[in-house]
Amino acid sequence: MKTNSGGRHSLAGPALHPVAVLRCLLGVLLVSALCFPAQGARQIDLEGLMPGTAIVMIDGERKMLREGQSFKGVTLVAAYSRTATLEVDGKQLVLGLSQKVGTNYEAPSAKVVSITRNASLQYRTTAAINGRTVEVLVDTGANMVALNEAEAVRMGINLKQAAPAQVETASGVVPAWSVNLESVDVGGIRVNNVPATVIEGAFPATVLLGMTYLRHVKIEENQGILTLSRAH
Protein backbone atom coordinates (compact mmCIF):
# COMPACT_ATOMS: atom_id res chain seq x y z
CA MET A 1 0.00 0.00 0.00
CA LYS A 2 1.52 3.33 -1.08
CA THR A 3 0.45 6.82 -0.06
CA ASN A 4 -0.41 9.28 -2.83
CA SER A 5 -1.18 12.97 -2.67
CA GLY A 6 -4.61 13.92 -1.41
CA GLY A 7 -4.68 11.34 1.36
CA ARG A 8 -4.84 8.34 -0.98
CA HIS A 9 -3.17 5.02 -0.37
CA SER A 10 -2.63 2.21 -2.85
CA LEU A 11 -2.36 -1.45 -1.92
CA ALA A 12 0.40 -3.56 -3.40
CA GLY A 13 -0.07 -7.30 -3.86
CA PRO A 14 0.45 -9.47 -0.80
CA ALA A 15 3.34 -11.48 -2.22
CA LEU A 16 6.59 -11.09 -0.30
CA HIS A 17 9.50 -9.50 -2.12
CA PRO A 18 12.46 -11.74 -2.97
CA VAL A 19 15.08 -11.71 -0.23
CA ALA A 20 17.51 -9.55 -2.19
CA VAL A 21 14.91 -6.82 -2.74
CA LEU A 22 13.67 -7.16 0.82
CA ARG A 23 17.12 -6.50 2.25
CA CYS A 24 17.60 -3.56 -0.10
CA LEU A 25 14.30 -1.98 1.02
CA LEU A 26 14.59 -2.51 4.71
CA GLY A 27 18.35 -2.29 5.35
CA VAL A 28 19.58 -3.41 8.72
CA LEU A 29 17.07 -2.32 11.35
CA LEU A 30 18.77 -4.00 14.26
CA VAL A 31 22.35 -5.04 14.91
CA SER A 32 23.55 -7.73 17.28
CA ALA A 33 26.52 -5.70 18.54
CA LEU A 34 27.98 -2.22 18.24
CA CYS A 35 31.71 -1.50 18.37
CA PHE A 36 33.28 1.92 18.87
CA PRO A 37 36.83 2.97 17.98
CA ALA A 38 39.33 2.78 20.82
CA GLN A 39 39.85 6.53 20.62
CA GLY A 40 36.97 8.94 21.11
CA ALA A 41 34.60 6.25 22.43
CA ARG A 42 31.25 7.65 23.55
CA GLN A 43 29.19 6.73 26.58
CA ILE A 44 25.43 6.70 25.96
CA ASP A 45 22.80 6.24 28.66
CA LEU A 46 19.04 6.10 28.01
CA GLU A 47 17.45 7.93 30.96
CA GLY A 48 13.85 8.62 29.96
CA LEU A 49 11.18 7.68 27.43
CA MET A 50 8.01 9.29 26.16
CA PRO A 51 6.06 8.60 22.96
CA GLY A 52 8.36 9.69 20.14
CA THR A 53 10.86 11.24 22.57
CA ALA A 54 13.84 10.01 24.58
CA ILE A 55 16.17 11.57 27.13
CA VAL A 56 19.76 10.44 26.61
CA MET A 57 23.02 11.16 28.41
CA ILE A 58 25.91 11.31 25.93
CA ASP A 59 29.40 11.73 27.36
CA GLY A 60 27.92 13.35 30.47
CA GLU A 61 25.61 15.75 28.59
CA ARG A 62 21.86 15.23 28.88
CA LYS A 63 19.71 15.87 25.83
CA MET A 64 16.03 15.39 24.99
CA LEU A 65 15.67 14.08 21.44
CA ARG A 66 12.57 13.69 19.32
CA GLU A 67 12.44 11.02 16.63
CA GLY A 68 14.77 12.06 13.79
CA GLN A 69 16.83 14.48 15.90
CA SER A 70 20.57 14.04 16.50
CA PHE A 71 23.08 15.06 19.18
CA LYS A 72 26.81 14.39 19.14
CA GLY A 73 26.44 11.92 16.28
CA VAL A 74 23.62 9.96 17.97
CA THR A 75 20.22 9.97 16.21
CA LEU A 76 16.94 8.90 17.79
CA VAL A 77 15.26 6.63 15.24
CA ALA A 78 12.24 5.60 17.32
CA ALA A 79 11.08 5.77 20.94
CA TYR A 80 8.59 3.45 22.63
CA SER A 81 7.34 2.87 26.17
CA ARG A 82 10.24 0.61 27.17
CA THR A 83 12.92 0.89 24.48
CA ALA A 84 14.46 3.34 22.03
CA THR A 85 16.22 2.71 18.72
CA LEU A 86 19.36 4.83 18.26
CA GLU A 87 21.65 5.22 15.27
CA VAL A 88 25.36 5.64 15.99
CA ASP A 89 28.04 5.73 13.31
CA GLY A 90 25.56 4.48 10.73
CA LYS A 91 24.50 1.48 12.82
CA GLN A 92 21.29 0.97 14.79
CA LEU A 93 20.80 -0.48 18.27
CA VAL A 94 17.96 -0.86 20.71
CA LEU A 95 18.34 0.26 24.33
CA GLY A 96 16.13 -0.12 27.38
CA LEU A 97 15.88 2.41 30.18
CA SER A 98 19.13 2.89 32.11
CA GLN A 99 21.08 0.74 29.66
CA LYS A 100 24.46 2.21 28.81
CA VAL A 101 26.48 1.89 25.65
CA GLY A 102 30.24 2.12 25.58
CA THR A 103 33.30 0.26 24.40
CA ASN A 104 32.12 -2.84 26.28
CA TYR A 105 28.56 -2.73 24.99
CA GLU A 106 26.75 -6.07 24.74
CA ALA A 107 23.54 -6.21 22.77
CA PRO A 108 20.40 -7.34 24.62
CA SER A 109 18.98 -10.72 23.71
CA ALA A 110 16.58 -10.78 20.77
CA LYS A 111 13.02 -12.09 20.56
CA VAL A 112 12.67 -14.24 17.44
CA VAL A 113 9.51 -15.35 15.60
CA SER A 114 9.65 -17.85 12.71
CA ILE A 115 6.85 -18.07 10.11
CA THR A 116 6.62 -20.90 7.56
CA ARG A 117 5.56 -20.12 4.00
CA ASN A 118 2.26 -21.78 3.07
CA ALA A 119 1.21 -23.54 -0.13
CA SER A 120 0.12 -20.18 -1.61
CA LEU A 121 3.67 -18.83 -1.04
CA GLN A 122 2.40 -16.50 1.66
CA TYR A 123 3.61 -15.87 5.20
CA ARG A 124 0.62 -15.97 7.53
CA THR A 125 0.64 -15.94 11.32
CA THR A 126 -1.40 -14.67 14.25
CA ALA A 127 -0.99 -11.33 15.96
CA ALA A 128 -2.56 -9.55 18.90
CA ILE A 129 -3.82 -6.16 17.72
CA ASN A 130 -5.24 -3.94 20.45
CA GLY A 131 -5.32 -7.12 22.54
CA ARG A 132 -7.44 -9.09 20.03
CA THR A 133 -5.95 -12.18 18.32
CA VAL A 134 -6.28 -12.11 14.53
CA GLU A 135 -4.69 -13.77 11.52
CA VAL A 136 -2.29 -11.51 9.61
CA LEU A 137 -0.54 -11.71 6.26
CA VAL A 138 3.03 -10.42 6.26
CA ASP A 139 3.14 -7.92 3.38
CA THR A 140 6.34 -5.96 2.82
CA GLY A 141 4.71 -4.37 -0.23
CA ALA A 142 2.19 -2.52 1.96
CA ASN A 143 3.50 0.63 3.61
CA MET A 144 0.75 0.49 6.24
CA VAL A 145 -0.92 -2.11 8.40
CA ALA A 146 -4.34 -2.47 6.73
CA LEU A 147 -7.59 -4.03 7.89
CA ASN A 148 -11.22 -4.04 6.83
CA GLU A 149 -14.04 -2.12 8.47
CA ALA A 150 -15.65 -5.09 10.24
CA GLU A 151 -12.34 -6.18 11.76
CA ALA A 152 -11.73 -2.66 13.03
CA VAL A 153 -15.15 -2.59 14.72
CA ARG A 154 -14.41 -5.95 16.40
CA MET A 155 -11.20 -4.42 17.77
CA GLY A 156 -13.14 -1.55 19.29
CA ILE A 157 -11.75 1.12 16.95
CA ASN A 158 -14.00 4.19 16.85
CA LEU A 159 -14.11 5.09 13.16
CA LYS A 160 -16.31 8.14 13.83
CA GLN A 161 -13.28 9.81 15.41
CA ALA A 162 -10.82 8.60 12.74
CA ALA A 163 -9.44 10.77 9.94
CA PRO A 164 -11.09 10.01 6.56
CA ALA A 165 -8.88 8.83 3.71
CA GLN A 166 -9.08 7.05 0.36
CA VAL A 167 -7.42 3.84 -0.79
CA GLU A 168 -6.68 2.70 -4.32
CA THR A 169 -7.43 -0.99 -4.83
CA ALA A 170 -7.78 -3.21 -7.87
CA SER A 171 -11.49 -2.34 -7.84
CA GLY A 172 -10.86 1.41 -7.78
CA VAL A 173 -10.78 4.12 -5.12
CA VAL A 174 -12.68 3.29 -1.92
CA PRO A 175 -13.23 5.23 1.32
CA ALA A 176 -10.97 4.50 4.28
CA TRP A 177 -9.87 5.84 7.66
CA SER A 178 -6.43 6.56 9.10
CA VAL A 179 -6.09 5.23 12.65
CA ASN A 180 -3.45 4.53 15.28
CA LEU A 181 -3.44 1.02 16.72
CA GLU A 182 -2.62 0.87 20.42
CA SER A 183 -0.37 -2.14 19.91
CA VAL A 184 0.56 -4.87 17.45
CA ASP A 185 2.18 -7.97 18.94
CA VAL A 186 3.53 -10.86 16.86
CA GLY A 187 4.88 -13.70 18.98
CA GLY A 188 5.89 -11.35 21.77
CA ILE A 189 7.44 -8.70 19.48
CA ARG A 190 5.23 -5.77 20.44
CA VAL A 191 5.11 -2.34 18.81
CA ASN A 192 2.92 0.41 20.25
CA ASN A 193 1.15 3.25 18.45
CA VAL A 194 1.18 1.68 14.99
CA PRO A 195 -0.35 3.78 12.16
CA ALA A 196 -2.87 1.78 10.13
CA THR A 197 -5.54 2.13 7.47
CA VAL A 198 -9.07 0.81 7.86
CA ILE A 199 -10.76 0.16 4.50
CA GLU A 200 -14.51 0.36 3.99
CA GLY A 201 -16.04 -3.00 3.17
CA ALA A 202 -14.62 -6.52 3.40
CA PHE A 203 -11.17 -5.91 1.86
CA PRO A 204 -8.64 -7.05 2.89
CA ALA A 205 -10.09 -10.34 4.10
CA THR A 206 -6.95 -10.89 6.21
CA VAL A 207 -5.18 -8.10 8.07
CA LEU A 208 -2.11 -6.96 6.12
CA LEU A 209 0.93 -6.66 8.36
CA GLY A 210 2.60 -3.77 6.54
CA MET A 211 5.69 -1.66 7.04
CA THR A 212 4.37 0.54 9.85
CA TYR A 213 4.94 -2.56 11.99
CA LEU A 214 7.65 -4.37 10.01
CA ARG A 215 10.03 -1.39 9.96
CA HIS A 216 10.55 -1.94 13.69
CA VAL A 217 11.86 -5.50 13.30
CA LYS A 218 14.65 -7.30 11.49
CA ILE A 219 13.39 -9.56 8.69
CA GLU A 220 15.20 -12.55 7.19
CA GLU A 221 13.97 -15.18 4.73
CA ASN A 222 15.64 -18.53 4.24
CA GLN A 223 14.25 -21.55 2.39
CA GLY A 224 10.60 -20.82 3.08
CA ILE A 225 11.08 -19.61 6.65
CA LEU A 226 10.54 -15.92 7.45
CA THR A 227 12.17 -14.75 10.66
CA LEU A 228 11.20 -11.61 12.57
CA SER A 229 13.49 -10.50 15.39
CA ARG A 230 13.91 -7.57 17.70
CA ALA A 231 16.16 -6.92 20.68
CA HIS A 232 14.54 -6.26 24.06
Residue extents of the structural domains in the chain: 2-28+111-231, 44-106
Which of 15-29, 51-65, 130-144 shows the highest mean pLDDT?
Answer: 130-144
Residue 55 has a pLDDT of 85
Q: How far apart are CA 159 and CA 203, in angstroms?
A: 16
Q: What is the pLDDT of residue 41?
A: 55
List pLDDT tens digits, range 32-69: 223 333 334 578 888 887 778 888 888 888 888 998 99
Residues 138/215/195/141 CA torsion (nearest 10 deg): -40
Q: What's the pLDDT at 199?
A: 96
Instruction: Give all strands of the β-sheet with 83-88 in edge-to-edge order.
Output: 70-71, 74-79, 83-88, 91-96
> Can you tell me the mean pLDDT for 190-217?
95
Q: What is the pLDDT of residue 8?
A: 54
What is the per-residue DSSP string for the chain?
A: -EEETTTEEEPPPSPPPPHHHHHHHH-----S-----STT---EEEEEEETTEEEEEETTEEEEEETT-EETTEEEEEE-SSEEEEEETTEEEEEETT-EESTT--PPPEEEEEEEB-TTS-BEEEEEETTEEEEEEE-TT-SSEEEEHHHHHHTT--GGGSEEEEEEETTEEEEEEEEEEEEEEETTEEEEEEEEEEESSS-SSSEEE-HHHHTTSEEEEETTEEEEEEE-
* Residue 104, CA distances (Å) to 18, 33, 36, 41, 107 in order: 36, 10, 9, 10, 10
Q: What's the CATH number of domain 2-28+111-231, 3.40.50.720, 3.40.50.620, 2.40.70.10, 2.40.110.10?
A: 2.40.70.10
Domain 44-106 CATH (choose: 2.60.40.1180, 2.30.30.830, 2.60.40.10, 3.30.460.10) = 2.30.30.830
Residue 208 confidence (pLDDT): 97
> How do residues 163-184 score in pLDDT, each as one tens digit?
999 998 777 899 999 999 999 9
Per-residue model confidence (pLDDT) at position 145: 97
